[in-house]
Amino acid sequence: NLAAILTQEYSSTGVESLEDAIRENYVFCASRQIAEIVKGVHSELTPDRFVSDPVELGGDGRFGFNCPKCNARERVFDFMSLSQDKDPSLYCDAALASLEDLEVLHGRGLHCNKTR
């Protein structure tokens, strides 16, 4: 599986797959590359379902992180939030990333509260 859906803690909402998260209208954090791949497979995922690339860090404001100064592969985890009143233009419900990226961060003691 190219992309793994990652959540901050076990959720009782019944979301167990990417398809469930899409049905529940989750907002996603992802690098541009992964966002484009997943959008290609799941046509119901429109650009507004992804947090935008931050212009203030050199990004282009489009869906998915691609900015040269934002460390996109770690940023996908930094901007996950369980808060119900979060700003969906800045924070996401779940990240789409490679499992290897998460394992590397866990190995460094980072984002240990996030699981597959």
Rounded-to-integer distance, Cα 101 and Cα 98, Å? 5
In this predicted structure, what is the pLDDT of residue 8? Answer: 45
CB 3, CB 18: distance < 8 Å: yes
In this predicted structure, what is the pLDDT of residue 3? Answer: 46
pTM of the model: 0.80
Classify strands 4-6 and 28-30 as parallel, antiparallel or unpaired: unpaired
Query: Under the phi-then-psi rule, with left for phi > 0, alpha for psi from -120 to 50, and beta for the rest, what region is 45?
Result: beta
Mind listing the pLDDT tens digit for each residue in 23-69?
999 999 999 999 999 999 999 999 999 999 988 888 899 999 988 77
In this predicted structure, what is the pLDDT of residue 108? Answer: 87
Mind listing the pLDDT tens digit for each residue in 63-89?
999 887 777 778 888 888 878 888 888
